[in-house]
Homo-oligomer: A and B are copies of this chain.
Amino acid sequence: MKRTAFFISDSTGITAEVMGESLLSHFPTVQFERQTLPYVDDEAKANAAVEKINAAALKDGQPPIIFDTLISEALRKIVVASEGFCVDVINTFLAPLEQALGEPSSYNVGRPKVATENRHYSRRIEAIHFALDNDDGGRINRYGDADTILIGVSRSGKTPTCLYLALQFGIFPANYPITEDDLDSMELPKPLRDHRDKLFGLTIRPDRLASIRNERLADSRYASDRQCEMEVSEAIKLFERYKIPYIDTTDFSIEEISTRILAETGIERQFK
């Protein structure tokens, strides 16, 4: 069965998407075609959204599912009058929250400024630049300032995880590659030795590593099954030898790897 899902917002659409995707994931038998319509902030755009919804309804022969976070009641009315089935992810919870908090919400006053985002802007920028500067062993002289130093073999997921940690949580992450020389000697690379309490290992299933490396350098020794198996098993030995905590990233998204590292290390998110 194929259905269309719309994520509609007068702002970025991110809340509607996160919430909607989370709900849709509970319907694994349905195949969804997705459309995000952000910045729907006037009547013309709301009417254009309705046209898209109705066209999808006609094509699918079924009402599209709509996750919307529209603030303006006038615009919401336009969208609700479409052929779609609207899930009102914000409004539904405002009345119970008003009661629990004993405060009126600012709902009808207009979209609240995303103050948290702006408040954190400088820290995020700083964290991202820290992650970039300290990527792949780039600037080992700043490891004293790092919140964590991820280590692992090439393409085990260190860089994306560091960037996510910086962008999403304002953490200062560094990463350092484990090379064949390190594995030969079974010693920690020198720049890491003074920072053992900050080290966190990433590992990955050898077949997955080979497939990722093959996308980069097809049919190379670097991407061979034998090489990947060897590197992964020896990296794990190295982690265990030095009692470095580590996780297998194979079946995890970048979000999961990042939040698991925080949970295991107890590193605090910078945005609160």
Contact = CB atoms under 8 A, between A and B. Distances in A.
A155 B39 CA distance: 26
Contacts of A100: 63, 65, 85
Given A18-B18, A128-B160, A215-B126, A12 B256 contact: yes
Nearest to A11: B256
Interface in A101-155: 101, 103, 105-107, 112, 114-118, 121-122, 124-126, 128-129, 132, 135, 155
Given A97-B27, A97-B87, A118-B253, A12 B103 contact: no
Contacts of A159: 128-129, 132
Interface stretch (A51-59, A88-96, A192-200, A225-233): A88-96
Contacts of A116: 21, 25
A129 B262 CA distance: 23
A44 interface: no
Interface string A231-248: 000000000000000000
Given A259-B38, A263-B39, A272-B34, A167 B254 contact: yes
Nearest to A118: B253
A267 interface: no
A181 interface: no
Contacts of A36: 269
A26 interface: yes
Nearest to A69: B22
